[in-house]
A and B are shown apart, each in its own frame.
Chain A
Amino acid sequence: MSKFKIDRQTLDELNLLGKFRAGSVYHLFNQVRTRGGEQLLDEMFNNPLSSTVLINERSETFKCFQEHDFRFDYDVQVISVFREYLDTKTYNHKIRVYFSLLSRSVLARLTRDERYKKSIQGFQAIVQVLKKTTALMPLLSWAPEPFQSRVQEIQVLLKRPDMDQLLQMDIYSEIDLGTLVFYEHLLKGKLHTDMENVLSFIYELDVYQAVGMVARAKGLGYARALEPEQNVFRCQNLRHPCIEKAVGNDLLLEEDSNVLFLTGANMAGKSTWMKSLGIGLYLAHMGFPVAADSFEFSLREGLYSSINVADNINLGYSHFYAEVVRVKQAAEAAASGARLMLMFDELFKGTNVKDAFDGTLAVTEGFAEYTNCLFVVSTHIIEVGEELRGFPNIQFRYMPTILEGGVPRYTYRLKEGITEDRQGMMIIQSEKILELLER
C-alpha cells in the first residue's frame, strides 16, 4: 500500500510534529534518552504505517513494554561515546592501525593530544554496552513478535566466539596497545555492521520504553487496526492527548454513517474534538498509543483537515478563496477513490453568513456521497443541519453550551442532534444593548 497521505497544513493544524514546539504531539512522546532514539522517533512520526499487520505488531510491542514497565538504564553518555567510536574511521591494514595508535599514544604523552584517550574510552564503552546488553537479554523474554526475533538476533550475535572474548574483558585492568589495536581493527572493520546493529537495537529499546512510559503516565490506550474494507472507526472516551484533564467522547463512524455533522457555539470545543479525532487517527496509523479507552479503525490512506485557518478572519476575501482551494484539494483526493478522513472546521467562516451556508451545504452533500471516506464537518450555521436531515449516513452531534446567569459554560460532551443554542440573541439581550439604544 502507498504511503499515508498527509500534508504540511494538516500536520500543522493538528500540531503533530515540531520538536521545539510546546504542546505538539511529538513533544509529548519525546521522552527518549538517546540521539539515535530521537531520530528513530522522528522517522516513526514522519512515516505512518500502511499495513494492519505492521500497525498491530508495533502497537502490541509498545503495550508489552508498558505492561512490563521496562526501564532503559543504559548510561546515555557511554552510548554516545560508543557512537562516536564507530563513526571515527581507521585504516584497513592492521599495521597502519598499529602505527597510528602508537603515534597517538606517544603524542598523548608529549602533548595534550586527546585522541589516544578517546580510542581507549570508545573501546571501553563498547565493552560496557555489550555487557549490559547481554545481561538485559533474559529480561526481554516477554517481547512479542516481531521484536522477539530482533532480541534473538542480537542474542545470537553476542554469543559468537569473537564476541565472547570481548565480553570477558575487564575494563578496569590494564589494556595494552596490542589489544587496543586488535579490537580497533576488528570493531571498526569486520564487526562494524554488528556493532551498528547492536546500537540500533538499543535505540529501538529506547523508543519502545519511552513511548510505553508516556502511555503509562498519561493513561493512554492502544488502537487496533482493521482491514480497510471493513470501513469502520470506533472510539470510546477519545481525548486530546496534549490537554490535561481533557474530556473524552465516543464515536462510531461506519460505511452507512460515515459523516459527522458537528454544531455548537464558538468556544464549545468543536475544534478540539476534531483535532482529537485527527491526532488519534494519525497516532493509530503509527502504531502508537492513543488517548482513548478503546480505538478500532480501518486503515486509511490519508488525512485532510482544515481547522485553524478559519481563526484568521482578517484576510477576508482572499481567505475565502484559500479555503475553496483547500476544499478542492480534498475533493480531488477523495474523488481519486482513496479512503480518507476529511475534517472541515467552520468552513467559509470568513465570508458572509449566506455564502457560508450555501457553501457548507453543497460541500457536505458532495462529500457525503463518498462512503469510503470518513467526513467530519463543523459549523455554527445550524440551518445547514436542518437541510441535511434526510441523509441516512449523516450523524448529528453538538457541543452544548449552558448559560448560567448570562455566562456561557461548556461541558465538552458530545450530544446527539443539532444544537438549539441561540447564543447570538441571548448575548445581545444579556449585554442589554437594545435597552441602551432605546432612550
Chain B
Amino acid sequence: MKLETDAQTLEDLRIFGKREQTGIFDLYNDTHTRGGEKLLREMFRNPLSDIESIGYRRHIFAYFSEHHLEFPFEGSLLDMAEKYTASTKDAGASRQQILNDKDIENGVVSIIQLTQKLRIFIDIDVVKASVPFAGEREAIITILESDVLQPVLRDKNSGKVSYSAITAFDALFRSKGQIKIEGLLHLIYLLDVYLSVARVALKYGFTYPKAHQKGSRILSVDGLFHPELKKPVANDMVMEGHSSLVFLTGANMAGKSTFLRSIGTATFLAHMGFPVAARAMEFSIMDGLYTTINLPDDLGMGASHFYAEVLRVKKIATELHKGKKLFVIFDELFRGTNVKDAHEATVAIAIGFARNSESRFIISSHIVEAAEQLEVEPGIDFLFLPTRMNGNTPEYTYTLERGVTDDRHGMLIIRSEGILDILKNGKKGRIYCNEAQ
C-alpha cells in the first residue's frame, strides 16, 4: 500500500531538488550505481503505508547500519554490465550496430566479475548471519546456482578471457541467461541502496523510527532536527492518544516552518522505512501526508490565495470524511484574508480537525486569540517557538515550549528600517489628525 501525498507536499518538504537547490533525496543518495539511484528515486516517489513493507525495509537498513559493509563493486563495472544487458532488450537486428566487439568483451568480463564478487560477498559472515537480508540472499543464491551462471563460477582465471570464451559467454548471457542476469543486476542495485542509506544514517546520526499499526494514535519524536541544516536545533514532540492537533505559534523567524518541515520530512521518510533525522521516533502508520507550507497563489486560475487554502482544507476534509487517517501540516493558516475571517475560520477548522483523533494535525498561526477558544477543546495542544529580545535585536532559541506566544516582528522590522521616523520627520503638507483618537 502506498502513502497518499501530493505535489504540493513534495514541494513543501523539498523532497526532490530543483535546479541549484538540493533536496532530501540528494541527501540520502550515496549510491554507487545509476541503477541504484533510480531505485532510490522510485522509493522516494512511493512511500509506503503498511507495516509489513515498512518494517521489512527498515530492518535491512538497520542491519547494515549496524554491521558496516562496503559496496563490493565498482560503479564502472555495473555501467558496463548495464550497457551490455540493456542492448539485449532492443530489437535483435540492431544489436550488432549498438555493441562493437570491445563493448561485448567489456560486458562479458564485467558480468563474470560481478558474479564472482557477489558469490564472495554473500558468503561473508555478516551477510550470512543477517536475518532481515536472508530473503534476498536466498534470491541471489538461487540465481547464482542456476545453470546459466555455473560456467561463470567455474571460470577461475579471472580477468583474462579468451576471444572464443567471450563469444561463448556472450551467446549464453544474451539468450538463455538474459532474465537471470537482469534479476541479478536488480538485486545488486537494491544492495547498493541498502548499503548507501545505511551509510548515510551512520554519517548523519539518523535513527530508525518504530512503526505502529494504523490507528494506534502514536506520534512521538525525540531530538528531531532538519537534516539539511548545518547546526540544527533538536526538538521533542509527543502527540499521543486523543491529542490530535498541535496549535503552533511563534514569530516569523522563530523557526516554525523549519520545524514543520522537519516533522513532515521525518514522517515521510518513516513511511519509506528510512532512517530519520532524530534521536528516536515512534509513529502510527497513516494513509496520507499533506503539508501546506508554501502555497502559491493560483492567479492563472483566477483563484486567490485564500481560496487556494480553502480548497486545500476541503480536499483534506473530504479524505478525513472517507475515514482516512492523515498527517496534516498547515503553516500560517488563512493568511490570505482579513483578521476576523482568519480568526473564525482557524477556530472552526481546528476544532473540526481535532475531532479526528486517529489523524495528526499541526497548524501554525499568528492568531493568538484563536488559542483562547481552542483551549477548552480536548485533543488540542499548544506549542510555541520563543523569541528572546536582546535590546532591539530578537534572538531565537528554536526550541519548542508549551503554550502560546504572540511574538511578532513585522512592526519591529518596519521600525528598525526607520520608515515611521522618516515619515514623521519629513516635509509634510497641512496635517490632519485622527480625530477619533
* Shortest distance from the beta carbon of A163 to any chain B beta carbon, whole Å: 56
Interface residues of A, dominant DSSP:
helix
Decide yes or no whether B389 CB sits under 8 A from chain A: no
The complex places the Cα of A267 from the Cα of B419 at a distance, in Å, of 30
Contact A431 B437 (CB under 8 A): no
Decide yes or no whether B310 CB sits under 8 A from chain A: yes
Contact B426 A334 (CB under 8 A): yes
The complex places the Cα of A319 from the Cα of B146 at a distance, in Å, of 63
* Shortest distance from the beta carbon of A298 to any chain B beta carbon, whole Å: 12
A267 surroundings in chain B (CB, below 8 A): 302, 304
* Contact of B339 (CB < 8 Å), options: A321, A337, A381: A381
Contact A363 B367 (CB under 8 A): no
Contact B366 A354 (CB under 8 A): yes
Contact B434 A388 (CB under 8 A): yes
Contact B353 A437 (CB under 8 A): yes
- Assess A314 versus B337: contact at CB under 8 Å? Given A267-B304, A320-B410, A436-B318: no
Contact A433 B314 (CB under 8 A): yes
Decide yes or no whether B352 CB sits under 8 A from chain A: yes
Decide yes or no whether A325 CB sits under 8 A from chain B: yes
Contact A369 B428 (CB under 8 A): yes
B356 surroundings in chain A (CB, below 8 A): 437
* Shortest distance from the beta carbon of B302 to any chain A beta carbon, whole Å: 6
Contact B317 A355 (CB under 8 A): no
Decide yes or no whether B397 CB sits under 8 A from chain A: no
Contact A423 B414 (CB under 8 A): no
B349 surroundings in chain A (CB, below 8 A): 428, 433-434, 437
Q: Give B204-245 interface residues, CB cut-off 8 Å to A.
A: none
Decide yes or no whether A49 CB sits under 8 A from chain B: no
Decide yes or no whether A265 CB sits under 8 A from chain B: yes
A332 surroundings in chain B (CB, below 8 A): 422
- Assess A313 versus B432: contact at CB under 8 Å? Given A328-B417, A366-B424, A382-B338: no
Contact A424 B408 (CB under 8 A): no
A266 surroundings in chain B (CB, below 8 A): 304-307, 336
- Assess A370 versus B435: contact at CB under 8 Å? Given A316-B294, A317-B252, A352-B252: no
B427 surroundings in chain A (CB, below 8 A): 335-337, 372
Contact A324 B419 (CB under 8 A): yes
The size of the chain B interface, using a CB distance under 8 A, is 68
The size of the chain A interface, using a CB distance under 8 A, is 70
Decide yes or no whether B345 CB sits under 8 A from chain A: yes
Per-residue contact bits, chain A 349-375, to B (CB 8 Å; 1 contact, 0 not) = 101111111110011011111111100
B337 surroundings in chain A (CB, below 8 A): 353, 380, 423-424
B413 surroundings in chain A (CB, below 8 A): 320-321, 324
Decide yes or no whether B390 CB sits under 8 A from chain A: no
The complex places the Cα of A66 from the Cα of B178 at a distance, in Å, of 82
Per-residue contact bits, chain B 326-352, to A (CB 8 Å; 1 contact, 0 not) = 000000101111111110110011001
The complex places the Cα of A437 from the Cα of B252 at a distance, in Å, of 29
* Contact of B294 (CB < 8 Å), options: A314, A327, A389, A428: A314
Contact A433 B310 (CB under 8 A): yes
A265 surroundings in chain B (CB, below 8 A): 304
Per-residue contact bits, chain B 85-122, to A (CB 8 Å; 1 contact, 0 not) = 00000000000000000000000000000000000000
Decide yes or no whether A391 CB sits under 8 A from chain B: yes
The complex places the Cα of A381 from the Cα of B430 at a distance, in Å, of 28
Contact B418 A352 (CB under 8 A): no
Which of chain B's residues has its CB closest to A379's CB? B338
Per-residue contact bits, chain A 423-439, to B (CB 8 Å; 1 contact, 0 not) = 11101100101101111
* Contact of B352 (CB < 8 Å), options: A256, A317, A358, A438: A438
Contact A366 B419 (CB under 8 A): yes
* Contact of B348 (CB < 8 Å), options: A352, A389, A434: A434
Residue from B335, B423, B437 having most chain A Cβ neighbours under 10 A: B423
* Contact of A358 (CB < 8 Å), options: B338, B411, B422: B411
A258 surroundings in chain B (CB, below 8 A): 429
Contact A424 B342 (CB under 8 A): yes
B411 surroundings in chain A (CB, below 8 A): 355, 358-359, 362
- Assess A331 versus B426: contact at CB under 8 Å? Given A320-B252, A369-B431, A424-B306: yes
* Shortest distance from the beta carbon of A345 to any chain B beta carbon, whole Å: 13
Contact A437 B339 (CB under 8 A): no
Decide yes or no whether A138 CB sits under 8 A from chain B: no
Contact B336 A370 (CB under 8 A): no
Contact B414 A427 (CB under 8 A): no
Per-residue contact bits, chain A 388-415, to B (CB 8 Å; 1 contact, 0 not) = 1111110000000000000000000000
* Contact of B418 (CB < 8 Å), options: A256, A328, A424: A328
A380 surroundings in chain B (CB, below 8 A): 336-338
Which of chain B's residues has its CB closest to A330's CB? B419
Contact A353 B432 (CB under 8 A): no
The complex places the Cα of A356 from the Cα of B413 at a distance, in Å, of 12
* Shortest distance from the beta carbon of A158 to any chain B beta carbon, whole Å: 52
- Assess A424 versus B348: contact at CB under 8 Å? Given A266-B306, A437-B320: no
Decide yes or no whether A348 CB sits under 8 A from chain B: yes
* Shortest distance from the beta carbon of A233 to any chain B beta carbon, whole Å: 14
* Shortest distance from the beta carbon of B211 to any chain A beta carbon, whole Å: 27
Which of chain B's residues has its CB closest to A320's CB? B410
* Contact of B422 (CB < 8 Å), options: A331, A392, A422: A331
The complex places the Cα of A327 from the Cα of B433 at a distance, in Å, of 22
The complex places the Cα of A382 from the Cα of B418 at a distance, in Å, of 26
Contact B335 A351 (CB under 8 A): yes
Q: Give B279-327 interface residues, CB cut-off 8 Å to A.
A: 294-297, 299, 302, 304-307, 310-311, 313-314, 317-318, 320-321
B339 surroundings in chain A (CB, below 8 A): 353-354, 357, 381, 383
Decide yes or no whether B179 CB sits under 8 A from chain A: no
- With A313-B297, A372-B429 given, name 6 new contacts (CB 8 A): A324-B413, A351-B410, A362-B411, A424-B334, A425-B341, A437-B321
Interface pairs (14), CB distance under 8 Å: A331-B422, A331-B426, A352-B365, A352-B410, A362-B420, A366-B423, A370-B423, A372-B429, A383-B340, A425-B348, A428-B313, A433-B314, A433-B352, A437-B349
What are the 8 A-B residue pairs with the smallest beta carbon separation, nearest first?
A335-B426, A390-B436, A355-B410, A424-B341, A437-B352, A371-B429, A337-B427, A266-B304
